[in-house]
Structure 1
Amino acid sequence: MSAGSASFLEIQPSELAFPFELMKQSSCSMQLANKTDHYVAFKVKTTNPKQYCVRPNIGVVLPGSTCDVTVTMQAQREAPPDLQCKDKFLVQSVAAENGAATQDISAAMVQQGAREGC
């Protein structure tokens, strides 16, 4: 994951690592930290949405606060070739109005203001 110079959120860790076990799902956590004085709306996307469950995948991080996001990889029936995973995640963020809540966030709002990638 890499953040642009005008990013609203700091993302930790910069890379997700899933322990691989056949027929068993595994989870990783990442933390989104809002270092600004603004409410920040976010949306998490992946190149392989059938393979991962992201909770929450959309939300609002209050000024000076953090949000923990859990990414769960679904159970695999077979190992990927060379055990290499090419899946990617994208964290989009945009400044939101003060008092904004998750239900106020629209996909168009976040896409128009996207600032970060991973």
Structure 2
Amino acid sequence: MSNTLLRIYPSELKMPFELRKSNTGCIELVNKTDQRVAFKVKTTNPKKYAVRPTSGIVPPGGSCGITITMQAPKEIPQDYQCKDKFLIQSVIVQEGITHKDIVPEMVSSCSTRG
């Protein structure tokens, strides 16, 4: 799906799979508008990943870094193929709205990354 509010870099996040070792990747959200944009990050596998921050507000023309940490796997599953995905939702918000005010109903899907 096309995203007109935020640029997401990199467009695809890749992390090595290592037994008993957690790995971290970072993505950057860049606000392409002249308005404040709220975002929320979701994943298809929330027990496997720690996402920080999970939501926030990017100022006009500003950027925000997001750290995604994959929990240390204890074993390699048979026929392992990672199909985990991340969804970044965004919406333009007015001055005075804080990241604590962001609820799922406010944001619309803007991009999917896996």
Q: TM-score, normalised by structure 2?
A: 0.91
Q: Which one of 48, 51, 76 corresponds to residue 48 of structure 2?
A: 51
Matched residue SS, 2:105? helix
Percent identity reads 52
Structure 2 portions without partners, runs of 5+:
none
* Structure with the higher fraction of residues in helix conformation: 1
Q: How many residues align?
A: 113
TM superposition shift of 1:82: 4.5
Aligned to 1:68: 65
Tell me the distance in 2 between the aligned counterparts of 1:101 and 1:57: 13
Tell me what 2:35 maps to.
38
Unaligned ranges ≥5, structure 1: none
Q: Does 1:11 align with 2:8?
A: yes
Contact 1:42–1:94 (8 Å) recurs in 2? yes
Runs of 4+ with deviation above 6 angstroms? none
Equivalent of residue 19 in structure 2, options 17, 22, 32: 22
Give the Cα separation in 1 of the matches to 2:111 and 2:99. Answer: 19
Q: Distance in 2 between matches of 1:16 and 1:81?
A: 23
Kept in 1: contact 2:29–2:64 (CA 8 A): yes
